[in-house]
Amino acid sequence: MTNIKRAVLAATVSVVALASAATADVKIAFIDPLSGPFGPSGDAAFTSYKLAFEKLNAAGGLNGEQVELTGYDNKISPKESLVQLQKAIDSGVRYVFQGNGSSVSAAIIDAVSKHNARNPGEEVLFLNYAAVTPAFTNEACSFWHFRFDAHADMKMNAITDYILARGDINKVYLIGQDYVFGEAVAAAAVKQLGEKNSAIEIVGNELHPLGKVKDFTPYIQKIQSSGAQAVITGNWGQDMVLLVKAAADSGLTIPFLTFYGGSVGAVAALGEGAMGTLYQVNEGITNLEASPEQYALIEEYKDRFPDYDYYYHRAFLAVDMLKAAAEKAGSTDPIAVANALEGLSINGAYGPITMRAEDHQAQQNLYISTVSDDVKYGVDNIKLGWKLVDGGSVSAASAEEPTTCKMERP
């Protein structure tokens, strides 16, 4: 607990200088909820970036320049995010990380494009590590936006393939948060299930208010009476935790196929009941085979931030790619770095990651995992942890989706 408070406090006071201010050359802003219902989600990512940039600075920095990371609390509000973005830009920030909430990302993409058009020579890059509404790298794509996480259609593809492969699920229930991301998840599920196997029936398709529901029991009872055999949800943060908590209380034990089952506290809320019922699809879990360096990193993170677990692997990937791009460009100028990022490919701990040039969507392996008690690393400070399911590994090539992006380059 103290860790959360500590990080949040430090972030809100904006004193989180990773390098001493005198040597900081590149200022980077992290804009995400650091308080409220989604505070733990933002904070878990913030701590990941903190560690990643500390390591980067220790290894010589971004193309030789030291990096200063500052956290800004946006309270998950798009308007507040723009106020914080303006504040960050005014203080000299040229790179912005954000991920929680596609509603926020849409506002930031828009604001960054406007800012760059109005202030030539002071361009800002937006590095999105978690907002996965497909539109951002399709019809609404922007040169200033790079996404390091697989988007909703890609993840849903992995989930629907898995449902078909299992063969024991004929009725699914869709529940999600009522905003652009939840809508995108529901649309992807309906479309893909319809195309792949029309025998699978969608018995419910429901959106609830974002971050406002305190008791999901009525929703769970609706799921129970619908006769669903599985639930697909894109919920994250508190909405994820409370959803599975209510399910556990009401004795609903059907599989939950999620994007963000790894949200802080979800496994702990379910306890033993999570085994074989909670599934997630993401870019890598701690219990995959990896190099000793990766294991050391996972342990160092847990050691530094005992309230969280190594979850935001893509945060470390994003920093690695940023570093590689800066070195390739030989500069930390945002436009040069953006051009260098296009088509860039590096080797991550769980497979290669490539930034597709035509839409700025990262292509990487996806893994479907479920909770197990037979694991190397547990989560939420209990012994349960994430374990790959049989056939749960999806290669980057097969996870790839076409894009409709028509990129306008400066």
Partner 1 sequence: METIVFSLLNGTIYGLLLFMLSSGLTLIFSMMGVLNFAHASFYMLGAYCAYTIMGVTNFWLALLLAPILVGAVGMGVERWGLRKVHANGHVAELLFTFGLAYLIDEVVKIIWGRTSVNYKVPESLDFTLFTLYGSNYPAYRIFILFVSIFMLVSLWYLLKKTRVGLIIQAALTHPHMVGHLGHNVPLVFMGVFGAGCALAGLAGVIGGNYFITDPAMAVQMGPIVFVVVVVGGLGSLEGAFVAAMLIGILQTSAVSINASFADIFGFLGMTATSEVGGITIASLAPMLPFLMLVLILIVKPTGLMGDREV
Partner 2 sequence: MTEVSINPAALGPTASAKFRERVLPFILFGMVLVAIPFFGPSRTTMTLLNHIGINIVFALSYNMLLGRAGLLSFGHAVYLGLGGYFCVHILNWIDAADGGFWGNLPVFSMPIFGFAMGAAAGAVIGWPSCKRAGTAFAMISLGVAELMSAGAFMFDSLFGGEMGISGDRMAGPDFLGLSLGPLADVYWFIAFWTFFGVVAMFAFTRTPLGKLSEATRDNPERVQFIGYNPTRVRYLVFIFAGAFAGMAGGMSSVQDEIFTPENLSLIPSGAILIAAYVGGIRYFSGPIMGAIVMTYMGSNLSDYTAGWLLYLGLMFICVVMFVPDGIAGLVFGFWRGVRSPNRSEVFGKWAWQVSGVVLMIVSIIIIVEVAFRWSDGYGEVFEPFGLALSHTSILTWILAFVPLAAGVVLMRHAAAKYEEA
Binding residues (CB under 8 A) for partner 1: these are 1, 4-5, 8, 34-37, 39-40, 43, 178, 206-207, 209, 212, 214-215, 217-222, 224-225, 238, 242, 249-252, 265
Pick between residue 3 and residue 170 the one whose CB is nearest to partner 1: 3
Binding mask 322-351 for partner 2 (x = CB under 8 A): ------------------------------
Distance, CA of 13 to CA of 24 (rounded, Å): 18
Contact status: 12 vs partner 2 (CB under 8 A):
yes
CA–CA distances in Å: residue 282 to residues 38, 258, 355: 19, 9, 17
Pick between residue 87 and residue 222 the one whose CB is nearest to partner 2: 87
Contact status: 114 vs partner 2 (CB under 8 A):
yes
Distance, CA of 144 to CA of 133 (rounded, Å): 16
**Residues forming a β-bridge with 127:** 97, 146
Candidates 22, 118, 198, 303; binder of partner 2 (CB under 8 A) is: 118
Contacts (Cβ under 8 Å, ≥6 apart) of 385: 267, 285, 286, 287, 371, 372, 375, 376, 377, 378, 379
Max Cα–Cα distance, the chain, nearest Å:
64
Contacts (Cβ under 8 Å, ≥6 apart) of 294: 349
Contact status: 406 vs partner 2 (CB under 8 A):
no
Contact status: 165 vs partner 2 (CB under 8 A):
no
User: Which of partner 1, partner 2, none has residue 351 at its interface (CB below 5 to 8 Å by kind)?
Assistant: none
Distance, CA of 387 to CA of 76 (rounded, Å): 31
User: Which of partner 2, partner 1, none has residue 250 at its interface (CB below 5 to 8 Å by kind)?
Assistant: partner 1
Contact status: 409 vs partner 2 (CB under 8 A):
no
Angle between helix 2-12 and 39-58 (nearest 10): 70
Q: Where are the alpha helices (DSSP H) in 148-236?
A: 152-166, 180-196, 217-226
Rg for the chain, CA atoms, rounded: 20
Closest contact distance (angstroms) between CB of 6 and partner 2 is: 5
Distance, CA of 352 to CA of 341 (rounded, Å): 14
Pick between residue 173 and residue 350 the one whose CB is nearest to partner 1: 173
Contact set for partner 2, span 170-229 (CB under 8 A): 178-180, 209-210
Copy the structure tokens of residue 79: 């308007």
Closest contact distance (angstroms) between CB of 9 and partner 1 is: 8
Copy the structure tokens of residue 205: 């398709």
Pick between residue 5 and residue 383 the one whose CB is nearest to partner 2: 5
- Asked whether the beta carbons of 399 and 154 are under 8 A apart, the reply is yes
Closest contact distance (angstroms) between CB of 72 and partner 2 is: 11
User: Which of partner 2, partner 1, none has residue 252 at its interface (CB below 5 to 8 Å by kind)?
Assistant: partner 1
Q: What are phi and psi of 219, to 5 degrees?
A: -65, -40
User: Which of partner 2, partner 1, none has residue 184 at its interface (CB below 5 to 8 Å by kind)?
Assistant: none
Query: Three-state DSSP class for 15?
Result: coil
Closest contact distance (angstroms) between CB of 1 and partner 1 is: 6
User: Which of partner 1, partner 2, none has residue 242 at its interface (CB below 5 to 8 Å by kind)?
Assistant: partner 1
Candidates 14, 217, 226, 345; binder of partner 2 (CB under 8 A) is: 14
- DSSP category for residue 390: E
**Vertex 303: Cα angle to 299 and 305 (nearest 5):** 115
Pick between residue 37 and residue 176 the one whose CB is nearest to partner 1: 37
Pick between residue 114 and residue 212 the one whose CB is nearest to partner 1: 212
Closest contact distance (angstroms) between CB of 219 and partner 1 is: 7
Q: Are strands 256-258 and 230-233 parallel, antiparallel or unpaired?
A: parallel
Residues in touch with partner 2 (CB under 8 A): 2, 5-6, 9-10, 12-14, 77-79, 82-83, 86-87, 89-91, 101-103, 106-107, 110-111, 114, 118-119, 178-180, 209-210
